[in-house]
Chain A
């Protein structure tokens, strides 16, 4: 069996009738050692979650440094691109729920935002959908980006110029946060394919 495996590995066997070529094994071993030397230190670092992915539910280990599912969201001012000012609590008291979507005006962000605008807003008129621009820094820049990307007139766009919202919810590209009318965080995760968001909206 081993002899057969060696023959199959050895491409020269078919051409020259040689049984094995030491170069092959030496080279393979060297490459393996080289890969091992590189992968081992990196595996000890930050990225071992990718090398050895874990399916354990560790949600209880989320710290208190952001508002996660089940937490009461703190009150935050909302500075809209159209220069109006509101607050989270004002919005949650006026609607059945509030959905915050964090955008940095990228292709993925626009794909998600398009899905929200085209599929969810009209179907859920009693829920407030807000895009949170956490990169532009000023109201004027947020307004400019909202217009350029086509969302200025289709949904509320908020400038998170102080980083208050992104810090509060640990929001980054593609994060979606859902608050109910009691200001409880019902969802705080990546948008993914949007199906978790679709499922939770009727429960608000």
Chain B
């Protein structure tokens, strides 16, 4: 594998990806204007197949803010006549560092569209970049056609760590409106555990993640300098499950239909070390996705729709949204 041509091609690919990423990032240096109040995180993540060396993902998502859950868990619609969207373009790459370890980087670019009956705002900017390491706790592929022994039931297990880098536009940057926001403004360290099992044609994937934001000083809010204070967002918990069913075709292509459930919560923010009881939140969500895998097994095209449950008691203190997304992943083996 490590022929001179491979090394040349590998380095070339790295340079191409780097230049592409830099081109994506360059427009971010321009001054940006407005967007949604909730920021835009690294919206894409990649898991590299065992035999793959690297992969690239491009995705786009359109998230519609339909309303919100208040502190009592009551669902309230947005004001009449309002249309609030956030569109994200994500570029991500994953690289195999080792036979048991892979790394990934995801960079979103965020467009915010906010229309109220009295205000209209269209803005854009970079979102928060995510980098991650994912360790694979298995040697062989764990997908089986038939269970012949108890070993065939062992799932593929992963342990991961990630860092969210606040490259987005936050309330603490030189902005004037909440509509300008495309990022949270905080570094966050995540740990993640994932198990994945496929017994064709059914797959089940379970993921749990725990994130801790770094404390930071704040001396500016929406462009106004204020008395400096320290702020730390609450710890984040994400749990999700995906159940899939796949159909294989004679051409070796396949189509997979998935249903998913996700729970997200964040604890209380701390202001100068003091907990803010108005800041914690949680919400539940469900989704459906269809993915087509090309005959060469290297290209996967997916369309997905996720939404919160727009009823009381399915969330607290958070916007409720519906997200339509498309993504294409290409795997280099």
Task: Please give the distance in Å from B220's CB to the nearest CB on chain A.
Answer: 7
Q: Is A42 part of the contact surface with B, judged by Cβ < 8 Å? A: yes
Interface residue tally on A, bucketed by range: 35 or more
Per the 8 Å Cβ criterion, residues 10-68 of A in contact with B are 10-12, 15, 21-24, 26-28, 30-31, 33-35, 37-39, 41-47, 49-51, 53-62, 66, 68
How far apart sit A24 and B82, CA to CA, in the bound complex (Å)?
A: 50
In the bound complex, CA of A148 to CA of B177 (Å): 24
Contacts of B165 in A (CB 8 A): 35, 39, 51
B247 within 8 A of A: no
A173 interface residue (CB < 8 Å to B): yes
Are B176 and A10 in touch, CB under 8 angstroms? no
Determine the chain A residues whose CB is within 8 A of the CB of B19 once the complex forms: 37
How many residues belonging to B are interface residues under a CB distance threshold of 8 Å?
93
* Interface 9-residue window, one of B28-36, B191-199, B203-211, B233-241: B28-36
**CB-CB nearest in chain A for B36:** A106
Contact A136–B79 (Cβ < 8 Å): yes
Closest to A137 in B: B118
Find A170's partner among B26, B31, B97, B223 (CB 8 Å cutoff): B223
**23 residue pairs from A and B, CB less than 8 Å apart:** A15-B139, A22-B2, A30-B95, A31-B95, A33-B14, A33-B18, A39-B129, A42-B28, A42-B126, A45-B30, A49-B220, A53-B172, A53-B216, A58-B219, A59-B227, A61-B225, A66-B224, A107-B318, A112-B278, A137-B119, A173-B37, A190-B221, A190-B226
**Chain B residues in contact with chain A, CB under 8 A?**
2, 10, 14, 17-19, 21-22, 24-26, 28-32, 37, 68-71, 76-82, 93, 95-101, 103, 105, 107, 116-119, 125-126, 129, 131, 135, 139, 165-178, 183, 185-186, 216-230, 269, 271, 274-279, 281, 317-319
